[in-house]
Structure 1
Amino acid sequence: MVDPGHGGDDGGAKGPRGLKEKTAALEIGRAVAARLEAAGFEAAVTRDDDTFIPLWDRARAANAQGADLFISLHLNAARARAARGSEVYFLSLGKGDDDEVVAVENAGAGAGPGSPDSVVASILDDLAQKAFLQDSERLAVAIQGQLNRLAGIKERGVKQAPFIVLRGAAMPAVLVEVAFISNPKEEAKLKEAAFRAKVAEAITLGVRRYFAETNGGVRRRTVGGPG
């Protein structure tokens, strides 16, 4: 499941020349899905147009699809325009490595669960993802290395953070901050189809390496048994 971040009224971050994160994320998401399909994977997307989807619903859509991996795509932003590079996150059930990034990406979540039933569901969401944290880290490492090598983006490392969009995913799940939309040079790259194709190729190769390292095993389907 490929998840282009933001959408609709949630525009995400904005570049100095006006590029919106929701627009760039959608274009990258389309490129990633197409490249995964070309590599023999079955790719689904959480959104294929300018639609807002609540953060709580994105991983659940992946669960409903029976997805084996969940990859959420975003663009980073910083007050310092010189900030550049890519980061790949997997879920932290505690404090994260970058509170500022977490605050921005979790901003569209709303108040979150409140009723007793939804609180129980939230705990179960955390437990569901906890079972896949090791595999999520492996996927993050595989993708990060390829973004650095193939797409030529400075590697800022693999990190953990309590992103709401990753909670509840009953499969390995990562959030990719592809580049800094706040950096004029990287914003210009994000507008180029050739650069987006390199990103898609890097993520696809990362996915292939992940499956190779796990001996082709599909962990998602072992949780609930066959079907």
Structure 2
Amino acid sequence: MKSIVILISGRGSNMQALLKAKLPCRIAAVISNKTDAEGLEFARKHGIQTAVVSHRDYSDRASFDAALAQTIDGFQPDYVILAGFMRILTEGFVKRYYGKLVNIHPSLLPAYGGLDTHARALHDGVKIHGCTVHFVTPDLDHGPIIIQAAVPVLSHDTEKTLAARVLNEEHRIYPQAIRWLCENQIELDANGRVVLHRHKQSAHSLISPGLE
């Protein structure tokens, strides 16, 4: 059985979705960079071991990432899952876990990498928005895509209402992506694209069924 470590910075709603999904893996630990992250208590209540590596205890990003990696490696995970982990990771950290480090981002990448994705989508007047699960690479928010889900942008949408619909899709597709990983259903091919073996197609094409 595969083992995963989940990294959070706050309430960890995607972490909660992963725990509730009863995935075919062992969740070895939930780690946060904040001692008061709400998600830590949720994990403890579900019998998951937790740890804190506070970025405030380190003088620079590289030192923090080295300490974080040491803590992660103590749990010997097959995959490291970012679930609202609000730290930009160094290139060395990302390369250390290449092919094992996974993130979910609230946009249809490669559009709207970075922050404030919903506000930017509304400002630009796009008609389709969504979320993306991807492998992490040193190029921020541009790693190989595992799965995406799309939602329509409605004329009366606010940043809050759009974010809520996107978050619902995040909670749906993140467990699916991690399930594929744990069942050896996906892999990175020689061109750095994600191949989904079960359906014999690139996982790039997978979006919300209601919008296909």
TM above 0.5, yes or no, is no
Which structure is richer in relative contact order (CA contacts within 8 A, separation 6 or more)? 1
Shorter-chain-normalised TM-score: which range?
0.3 to 0.5
Q: Which has the higher helix share?
A: 1
Q: What TM-score does the superposition give when structure 1 sets the normalisation length? A: 0.39
Q: Which has the higher strand share?
A: 2
